[in-house]
Amino acid sequence: MSIEEYVIDVPRSVLADLRFRLEHTRWPSKINGAEWQYGTNLEYLEAFCAYWRDGYDWRKQEAALNKWPQYMCRVDGVDIHFWHIKGHGGAPFPLLLLHGWPGSAYEFFEMIGPLTDPAAYGGREEDAFDVVLPDLPGYGWSGKPTESGWGAARIARALNKLMTEELGYRRYGTQGGDWGAMISARLGALFPEHVAAIHLNFAFLPVPMLNRLPAEDMAMVERQQAFDQAEGAYHMIQETKCDSLTVAQTDSPAGFAAWVLEKFRTWSDCGGNLESVYSKDRLITNLMFYWAPGSIASAARLYYESLHDPETNLGAPDPQIPVPAAVARFPCDPFNRPRSWMEKHFNVVRWTEMPAGGHFAAWEQPVLLCTDVREFYRGIRAEVLENY
């Protein structure tokens, strides 16, 4: 299948069904005085779903998504939906932006303009990128794999084929957090002849590495272990019995919202006030990337597939990934890893300690992230141009 233009157009029947389900949600009983310690606060969730039902305007958001050119291309038997925005100026550098769960490609939308047309946002024209922004296979409007094996490594192979064989880029860079960082790591390990560099705001720490870290890093590791004990049930379920959960979520928009909203609240730099960082419209649009195309189950299976794929090994990188790497560490990301480990497994040439922000960096701090990406790739693009 060649690359074809694509426009998001959710059928009215899907929107009517969504409204019906929100209106007829069967709410559980409440614990008096409970806030968020049991999960998403039910009073907040009821108000949120009422707004989703009666106040949210999907068609307005859909038009904004369709503002940028988007396409569909079948790679390795699965359709990949992606936005492809050419940069301004003489020599834009190709940049693959990769999201994770429970986020979506929507996280990057505030960065598209500054990355493709930096001069219009106070930057330099020579920093422009050609942005390629896909829905990962199984996510958003991309196809849903119907066979096992679609872990991070296979996704990396498919995306490299998209970038090189379908779009014709000989060399390109990546930026990613969450699964996007794990897939970037796999791209850098598997295709150093094509991947010029990777920019990360997340990295996975395999358990066997814990006894090989310097003593001064163990405090960070212990904080991470405590967080995982308190907050890690989601990935254990999705790595083992994902479909037992996603059947309910696919049937109930309120149930899916409950599962996702508390992740955004806990993983973000919001001080416990979710809407101090994200508006309801933004949160719901992200949910719609899962609900509207029916991608809730296929997205969650990425955890199962990657856990059971020896090549992926949940993103643990090959020692050492040769391509240059930049790490932007946002202070309130609960998944932060020690620098000593990062430098052991990645060719870290830039390290930035950010003053604010959490796990969803592209949403929470788009200016900080965009600036770091621009500055990192200045040197990378100069080296690529010199060698090609």
pLDDT in tens, 63-86: 999 999 999 999 999 999 999 999
pLDDT of residue 344: 82
Is 251 one of the annotated active-site residues of the chain?
no
Q: Are 194 and 200 in contact (CB under 8 A)?
A: no
Tokens matching residue 188? 């850098």
163 secondary structure, DSSP code: I
Question: Checking phi first, is residue 122 left (phi over 0); if not, alpha (psi -120 to 50) or beta?
Answer: left
- As separate numbers, helices (DSSP H) first and strands (DSSP E) second, the chain gives 15, 9
**Terminal Cα distance for the chain, rounded:** 30
**pLDDT(216) > 80:** no
Q: What does DSSP assign to residue 125?
A: G
pLDDT on residue 315: 47
Active site residue 76: no
Phi and psi angles of residue 159, each rounded to the nearest 5 degrees, phi first: -70, -35
CB distance 151 to 306 below 8 Å: yes
Confidence of residue 214 (pLDDT cuts 50, 70, 90): confident
Q: What is the pLDDT of residues 114-139, one digit of tens each?
A: 999 999 999 999 999 999 999 999 99
> In terms of residues, how long is the chain?
388
CB 364 within 8 A of CB 357: yes
- Mean pLDDT across 218-226: 79
Q: Is 330 helix (H, G, I), strand (E, B) or coil?
A: coil
CA pseudo-torsion sign 295, 297, 300, 301: negative
Q: Answer for the pair 305, 150: CB distance below 8 angstroms, yes or no.
A: yes
The pLDDT assigned to 345 comes to 84
pLDDT digits (tens, 9 = 90+) for 327-378: 999 999 999 888 888 888 899 999 999 999 999 999 999 999 999 999 999 9
Q: Which of 117, 127, 135, 178 is catalytic?
A: 178
**Residue whose C-alpha is closest to residue 370's, from 107, 185, 67, 192:** 107
Q: Report the topology of domain 4-24+39-387.
A: Rossmann fold (3.40.50)
Which of 199, 359, 372, 377 is flagged as catalytic?
Answer: 359
| Residue range 361-371, pLDDT digits in tens | 999 999 999 99
Q: Which of 172, 278, 303, 304 is catalytic?
A: 303
Q: Is the dihedral of CA 267, 270, 274, 280 positive or negative?
A: negative
- What is the rounded distance in angstroms from the CA atom of residue 224 to the CA atom of residue 239? 19
Q: What is the pLDDT of residue 10?
A: 98
Q: Is 303 annotated in the active site?
A: yes
Confidence bin at 316 (pLDDT 50/70/90):
low
Residue 13 has pLDDT above 50, yes or no: yes
Kindly report, residue by residue over 240-266, the tens digit of the pLDDT. Answer: 999 999 999 999 999 999 999 999 999
Task: Name the residue ranges covered by the structural domains of the chain.
Answer: 4-24+39-387
pTM for this structure? 0.95
Q: Is the pLDDT of residue 318 over 80?
A: no
